[in-house]
Amino acid sequence: MNKFGFIGCGNMGGALLRAVSKSVTAEQIMIFDPNTEKTALLASELGVCSVELKTLVAECDYIFLGVKPQIFELLFADLRPMLQDRKNAPVLVSMAAGVSVAAVEKMADCACGVIRIMPNTPASVGEGMILYTHNARVSDGQIQDFLAAMSAAGTLDWIPEDKIDAASALSGCGPAFVYLFAEALADGAVECGLPRDKAMLYAAQTLKGAAELLLQSGKHPGELKDAVCSPGGTTIAGVHALEVGGVRATAMDAVTAAYERTLELKK
């Protein structure tokens, strides 16, 4: 029976912890965070074990590293001897932006499997888009166990590591772009006289429903858009206004700008 350890239980680490707790038993999960008040609350909420770092590293088969990239070196200064003391190396699951699989291998300095993931915030409600890649030390069986444990977080998709930054510019940054668009849609409805609470509900549900239809139908978004646009109707008038405002080019520019900034931060 695999054990899953979480080092760092902040927003994203906590979201993934909650997701894994829906797929495995509480007895299979250990957590550690310097903020003991945080771990105490999570242990009480989920029934998981709050332990010392040394215990977690010694006993867990999968170790999620939920810490900021800038403190990875400090973390591994503590982890490295603990990992090297183990007879069977664990799988390290890193969610740190800009930290490559090779960099994690170098910091660990042991024969650990490494899975690099890039989740997004909707994972907190089970609707995440989680990108993952891994090194050759992770077996097919370990990948299947990892995917099963993470299934409640949302959709998981393997991607080559050289594409993960481009992909995360879409799925990782994309929720912010969607929230901005949702707010703009609601603002437009308020301008037309709709109460704010109604406008926000209708905007959010419309985005959710449209996304689900796109996923389930398998149709090109242009085809689905055309199905709503009656000749000379209200929707095509709105689409025209969006095109005049450059909505497509602006959306493309947003993803490209996020990607380019990611590359800058890696230098």
Q: Which residues contact 193 (CB under 8 A, 6 or more apart)?
A: none
Residue with tokens 């993934």: 16
Domain boundaries along the sequence of the chain: 4-160, 174-265
- Report pLDDT digits (tens) over 20-63: 999 999 999 999 999 999 899 999 999 999 999 999 999 999 99
Does 3.20.20.70 match the CATH number of domain 4-160?
no
- State the alpha helices, DSSP H only, in 115-173: 140-150, 164-171
Which architecture, in CATH terms, is 174-265? Orthogonal Bundle (1.10)
Mean pLDDT score of the chain: 95
Return left, alpha or beta for 110; rule: phi > 0 is left, psi -120 to 50 is alpha, else beta: beta
Pure H helices in 27-163 = 36-46, 53-59, 72-84, 101-108, 140-150
Q: Would you give the DSSP letter of residue 87?
A: S
Model-level pTM greater than 0.75?
A: yes
Question: Does residue 265 or residue 34 have the better pLDDT?
Answer: 34
Tens of pLDDT along 82-96?
Answer: 999 998 999 999 998
Q: Taking residues 149-154, what's their average pLDDT?
A: 96
Q: How many residues does the chain have?
A: 267
The pLDDT of residue 265: 79
Contact 205, 185 (CB under 8 A): no
